[in-house]
Amino acid sequence: MDVAALRAKIRDIKDFPTEGILFKDITTLLKDGPAWTSVIEHLAARHGRGSVDVVVGVESRGFIFGGALAQQLGAGFVPVRKRGKLPSRVIEEEYELEYGRDVLAIHEDAIRQGQKVLVVDDLLATGGTMAATLRLIERLGGVVVAAEFLIELRFLKGRDRLKGYRVESLIQYD
């Protein structure tokens, strides 16, 4: 399925979660089996099987893509979660949101020194969440191969916060 057909499956929801926001609802794409399969195939095609050791998925929609992508690439899967959601010892990274600050965490034994890591999330907006995730990976000694996104809101300039990293997005909105 081509990218234009995939883009057509994403529903716009006005004023969600707050007034003035145009939310990109991907549930309409995810429920379509051929479209969902095509998304994972598109993302995996940029990376050969065995080219990464670990796929990191960012809470929460990154988990949906991360598990499927890891399986397709023959890699392990590691979740990055909000503070207090992981059961073992973690390292944490604070980051800024539009409305304040939050904290992401990863198990301290999730990534070994020198492992090749592909990071995936559903949406690149301002880049703050992904920048914090990349810092966590590097603190553990992982080597970031790329950051993959289904959607990029280019007008929010999230790539600017991710300079020096390979950033890929399947669907862009200007």
Res 97: pLDDT: 76
**Contact status, residue 34 vs residue 67, Cβ threshold 8 Å:** no
Question: Tokens 């399986």 sit at which residue?
Answer: 71
Q: Is the pLDDT of residue 38 over 80?
A: yes
**Contact status, residue 35 vs residue 6, Cβ threshold 8 Å:** yes
Rounded CA separation 99/68 (Å)? 31
Q: Which residues pair with 146 in a beta bridge?
A: 118
Q: Is domain 48-173 given the CATH code 3.40.50.2020 in the classification?
A: yes
Mean pLDDT for the stretch of residues 28-39 = 98
Mean pLDDT for the stretch of residues 145-168 = 97
In what helix (H) or strand (E) does residue 95 lie, and over which residues does it extend?
strand 90-97
Check if 98 is active-site: yes
Mean pLDDT for the stretch of residues 92-110 = 91
Q: Is the pLDDT of residue 98 over 90?
A: no
DSSP-derived secondary structure letter, 60: T
Note the pTM of the prediction, 2 decimals. 0.95
Check if 61 is active-site: yes
In what helix (H) or strand (E) does residue 69 lie, and over which residues does it extend?
helix 61-73
Give me the catalytic one of 7, 46, 59, 61: 61
Mean pLDDT for the stretch of residues 41-66 = 95
Q: Is the pLDDT of residue 99 over 80?
A: no
- Domain residue limits, the chain: 48-173
